[in-house]
C-alpha cells in the first residue's frame, strides 16, 4: 500500500494501485448500480420465502421449502393437460354434430378427426381392409377411385354406420347376387360362356363365339345389377366388371367361381358399436385416402 494520493487532473483520490505509472481512480460505484444490487438481494430473500426454494433432508428423505403461495409445477402441468383433454372433448363433440363438410373445411377439427380416424381404423378396420386400407381378396381397397357402394362422404358414412349384408342392422346395404351354378339357374357351359363375355369386357376374351353366346346370357341375367355395359351399379353394390380392379379376382377361374356360387361379402355395421364422433372421423379418414368423391 502506498500513501493516499490525489489525481492531479480530476482531483479524485486514487486507490494507490499503480501499473507502469498509470494510477487507478477510486470513483464510488454509481448509485443506480448499488440500489439495483440491494434490490436483487431483497428479491432473492423474498423469493425464498414465497416460492419453493431450498432442498433439505428430513428423517423421511429429501424435501424442500414449499414457499408461502404453495406453487407447484406438477400441478400446473396437470391442470394444463386437463385443459387439453377438455378442449379435445369439445372438438370431438363438434365433429359428432357439425355437418361433415363443415368439419372437413375446418383445418383444426379436420386434423383431429383424421388422427382419430386413423387410430380407429387401425383398431377396427385394418384386420379386414389392411393397415394401409389397401384391401385383400374379398375386402376392397379403400385408397382407390373404385367404389362399390360410393365414395362421397355421405356414402362412406352410410356404409360404415349400417354395414353391408349385416342382418342385425335395419338399414344395411343389401343385395345378393344369385349362386347361378349352385342354385341351378345356369348350366356349366352357360356359366363358362358368360364368364367369357365378362372377360371380353376388359378386352381379354380369346373365344369370340363363346363371348357372343355369353353376351345373350348377360343381357337376360346380369344387366339388372351390373348394367347393360357391365360398368356396375352403386345403388345395388354391383361392381364394375369392365376395369382391371377385381374384388374376388379377374381370372377366368375367379369369375366362374363368382358366378357359380355368388360371393355376398359382409361387413359389420358400426353404429352403436363406435361413437358418432369416431364413425365420422373414420368417414373423413377413409374419404381422405385418395378416392374420396365430392
Rounded distance between C-alpha atoms, residue 236 and residue 150, angstroms? 10
Q: How many CB atoms lie within 10 A of CB 14?
A: 17
Stretch that binds ligand HEC, among 27-35, 41-49, 70-78, 236-244 (CB under 6 A): 236-244
Angle at 210 between CA 208 and CA 215, to 5 degrees: 90
Rounded distance between C-alpha atoms, residue 159 and residue 141, angstroms? 14
Nearer to ligand HEC, 26 or 139 (CB): 139
Stretch that binds ligand HEC, among 15-23, 71-79, 105-113, 252-260 (CB under 6 A): 252-260
Which residue from 76, 50, 52, 49 is spatially nearest to 63, judged by alpha carbons?
52
Stretch that binds ligand HEC, among 5-13, 27-35, 199-207, 239-247 (CB under 6 A): 239-247
- The answer for 178, left when phi > 0, alpha when psi is -120 to 50, beta otherwise, is beta
Nearer to ligand HEC, 112 or 215 (CB): 215
Q: Residue 234 CB, nearest distance to ligand HEC (Å)? A: 7
Contact between 265 and 138 (Cβ < 8 Å):
yes
Nearer to ligand HEC, 138 or 290 (CB): 138
Interface with ligand HEC (CB under 6 A), residue from 109, 192, 270, 292? 270
Nearer to ligand HEC, 116 or 156 (CB): 156
Q: Residue 93 CB, nearest distance to ligand HEC (Å)? A: 20
Binding mask 129-168 for ligand HEC (x = CB under 6 A): x--------xxx-x----xxxx-----x--xx---x----
Binding mask 194-223 for ligand HEC (x = CB under 6 A): x---x-------------------x--xx-
Q: Does 277 bind ligand HEC (CB under 6 A)?
A: no
Give, as ranges, the residues between 65 and 104 that touch ligand HEC (CB under 6 A): none
Taken as a whole, the chain contains a residue count of 294
Contact between 158 and 269 (Cβ < 8 Å):
no
Rounded distance between C-alpha atoms, residue 263 and residue 237, angstroms? 12
Interface with ligand HEC (CB under 6 A), residue from 153, 247, 269, 284? 247
Residue 32, burial from CB neighbour count under 10 angstroms (0-12, 13-18, 19+): exposed
Give the number of residues in contact with ligand HEC, rule: CB under 6 A: 47
Which long-range contacts does 218-221 make (Cβ < 8 Å, 24+ apart)? 218/194, 221/180, 221/185, 221/186, 221/194
Contact between 261 and 176 (Cβ < 8 Å):
no
Q: Residue 125 CB, nearest distance to ligand HEC (Å)? A: 3
Nearer to ligand HEC, 83 or 290 (CB): 290
Q: How many CB atoms lie within 10 A of CB 211?
A: 20
Q: Which residues here bind ligand HEC, judged by CB under 6 A?
A: 124-125, 127-129, 138-140, 142, 147-150, 156, 159-160, 164, 175, 177, 180, 194, 198, 218, 221-222, 224-226, 236-239, 241, 246-248, 255, 258-259, 263-265, 267-268, 270, 282, 286
Amino acid at each position: 500500500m502506498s500513501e493516499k494520493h490525489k489525481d492531479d487532473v480530476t482531483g479524485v483520490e486514487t486507490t494507490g494501485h499503480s501499473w507502469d505509472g498509470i494510477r487507478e481512480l477510486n470513483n464510488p460505484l454509481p448509485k443506480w448500480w448499488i440500489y439495483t444490487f440491494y434490490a436483487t438481494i431483497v428479491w432473492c430473500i423474498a423469493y425464498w420465502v414465497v416460492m419453493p426454494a431450498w432442498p433439505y433432508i428430513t428423517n423421511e428423505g429429501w424435501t424442500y421449502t414449499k414457499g408461502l403461495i404453495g406453487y407447484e409445477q406438477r400441478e400446473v402441468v396437470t391442470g394444463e393437460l386437463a385443459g387439453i383433454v377438455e378442449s379435445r372433448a369439445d372438438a370431438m363433440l363438434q365433429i359428432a354434430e357439425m355437418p361433415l363438410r363443415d368439419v372437413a373445411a375446418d383445418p383444426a377439427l379436420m386434423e383431429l378427426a383424421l388422427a382419430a380416424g386413423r387410430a380407429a381404423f387401425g383398431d377396427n378396420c385394418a384386420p379386414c381392409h389392411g393397415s394401409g386400407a389397401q384391401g385383400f381378396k374379398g375386402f376392397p381397397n379403400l385408397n382407390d377411385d373404385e367404389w362399390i357402394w360410393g365414395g362421397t362422404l355421405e356414402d362412406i358414412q352410410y356404409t360404415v354406420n349400417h354395414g353391408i349384408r349385416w342382418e342385425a342392422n335395419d338399414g344395411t346395404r343389401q343385395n345378393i347376387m344369385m349362386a347361378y351354378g349352385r342354385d341351378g339357374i345356369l348350366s356349366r357351359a352357360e356359366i363358362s360362356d358368360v364368364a367369357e363375355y365378362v372377360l371380353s369386357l376388359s378386352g381379354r376374351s380369346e373365344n369370340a363365339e363363346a363371348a357372343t353366346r355369353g353376351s345373350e346370357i348377360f343381357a337376360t341375367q346380369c344387366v339388372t345389377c351390373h348394367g347393360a355395359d357391365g360398368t356396375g351399379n352403386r345403388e345395388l353394390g354391383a361392381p364394375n366388371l369392365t376395369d382391371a380392379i377385381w374384388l374376388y379376382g379377374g381370372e377366368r377361374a375367379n369369375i366362374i367361381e363368382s358366378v357359380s356360387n355368388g360371393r355376398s361379402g359382409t361387413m359389420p355395421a358400426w353404429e352403436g358399436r363406435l361413437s358418432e364422433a369416431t364413425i365420422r372421423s373414420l368417414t373423413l379418414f377413409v374419404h381422405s385416402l385418395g378416392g374420396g368423391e365430392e
